[in-house]
Amino acid sequence: MTAWLLPENVEDVLPPQAWRMEDMRRALLDLFRGRGYQLVIPPLMEYVDSLLTGVGADLDLKTFKLVDQLTGRLMGVRADITPQVARIDAHLLAANAVNRLCYAGSVLHTQSDGFHRSREPIQVGAELYGEAGAEADLEILTLMLQGLDACGVKTLQLDIGHVGVYRALAQEAGLSGAVEHQLFGALQAKDSSAVTVLTAGLSAALREAFAALPQLYGDRSVLAEARARLPQLTSVQAALDTLERIDQGLGKVDAAYDLAELRGYGYHSGVVFAAYTGGRSHAIAQGGRYDEVGRVFGRARPATGFSLDLRELVVAGSDMSLFQQ
C-alpha cells in the first residue's frame, strides 16, 4: 500500500486552484458582511442528539459517527452546516429578532453526492431567520446571485420551484406515506406514465393536477398556466402568489419555473431554487425555505437560506469561459 494515497473522493487542493478558492471564500464573506449577515463558526463535530435530530434519513446516512473518548457518547462529524446554524438561532441568539447569519467551513460525507464529487465539500452559505414573507426568499435568492457574480460566474441557469404545490395536492388527495413517496420519485424523474398509474384512484381533478406538474416547466408564463390547470386550493394559490412576487422582484433575471422540482421535499417547506452553469447536471448553488428546521430545538422559526460548495465552484470554473477574467 502506498502511503500517499488518499481515500476515494477525497483530494488535496493545489495551486492555483487553492488561491482561487480562497479568493472566492473572501469575496462571499465580504459580500455577506456588507449585507448585514453575521458570521458564525459551528464546531466540526457534535453529539448526534443535536446534529441529526429532525433531519432526513439521507443526511443521517451521510454522517460519519464516532464515540467520544471522554464521555462514551456517540458523536457525528457534520455533513451539513444548516442544522447547526438552526441550533444557534434557536438557543444562542435573541429570541424574537430577525437573524441574518452566514458561515464557511468543511463538511464531511460518508458517500459522494455524484461521480467524481468530493466527500469533503467546503460549504459556504447565508441564512435568514424570523422573516416569513416572499421578500425574505427574494433577499436570499438575490444574495446567492450576487455571490456567484462576486465569484466571477457570468453564465448560469436559475431554476425555481415551490414544494408547497405538491404538498397541498398530496394532502388534498389523502395519499398514504408509501404512495406519496413513490409519486414523489415519479415526479422528480418526470415519469408521466408512473404518475398516471399512481394517481389512478384519485378524482379526475387531482389526476389532471398531478399529471400537469411535470409539464409545468419554463419561463414566467408557467405561473399563469399553473393557475389555469391546478385546483383552486388555498395553499396552491398562496405558493403561486409567492413565486409571482419573486419573479417580479427578480426583474430582468431569467429564471425557469419547475413545479415538479421537489429537491429536499422532506426538508424544505416552500420556495426552492438552484443555479446551474456550463451544462453541468448538478447545481453549483442551491437553497430554499425550511421553516420547520428549528422545531426540534424548540423554535420553529421562519427560515430561508442558500449554500454552495467552493470545491464544486472551482471545478465548474475549470472551463474559464464560465468565469470573468
The CA distance from 104 to 307, in Å, is 9
Residue 128: predicted pLDDT: 98
Q: Identify whether the C-beta of residue 278 lies closer than 8 Å to the C-beta of residue 317.
A: no
Residue 205: partners with Cβ closer than 8 Å, 6 or more residues away: 231
Tell me how far CA of residue 261 lies from CA of 84, 279, 313, 314, in angstroms: 26, 18, 22, 26
End-to-end Cα distance, the chain: 42
Q: In what order do the strands lie in the sheet with 74-77?
A: 45-47, 74-77, 64-67
Instruction: Give the CATH H-level superfamily of domain 157-276.
Output: Bira Bifunctional Protein; Domain 2 (3.30.930.10)
- pLDDT on residue 318: 62
pLDDT of residue 56: 66
Determine the 3-state secondary structure of 177 from DSSP: helix
pLDDT mean by block of 10 residues, the chain; 325 residues: 87 94 97 98 93 74 95 96 92 85 97 86 97 97 97 92 94 89 88 94 95 96 97 97 97 92 79 90 92 81 96 76 52
Describe the chain by its helix, strand, coil percentages, rounded to 5.
Answer: 40, 20, 40
In the chain, where are the structural domains located?
1-155+284-325, 157-276
The reply to whether 1-155+284-325 and 157-276 are identical in fold is yes
Q: What integer pLDDT is reported at residue 36 of this predicted model?
A: 98
pLDDT for 100? 97
Q: Tell me how far apart the alpha carbons of residues 247 and 260 are, in angstroms, rounded to a whole number.
A: 18
Q: How far is CA 196 from CA 201, 208, 217, 315, in A?
A: 10, 9, 18, 39
Contact (Cβ atoms closer than 8 angstroms) between residue 104 and residue 60: no
Please tell me the total number of residues recorded for the chain in this structure: 325
Does residue 278 sit in helix, strand or coil?
coil
- Look up the CATH number of domain 1-155+284-325: 3.30.930.10
Residue 325: per-residue pLDDT: 47
Q: Is 120 exposed, middle or buried (0-12, 13-18, 19+ CB in 10 A)?
A: middle
Q: Which residues pair with 276 in a beta bridge?
A: 157
At residue 94, the 3 state secondary structure works out as: coil
The C-alpha cell at 119 is 466527500
Cell of 73: 457518547
Q: Give the DSSP H/E element, type plus range, for residue 105.
A: strand 99-106
The predicted structure's pLDDT at residue 320: 46
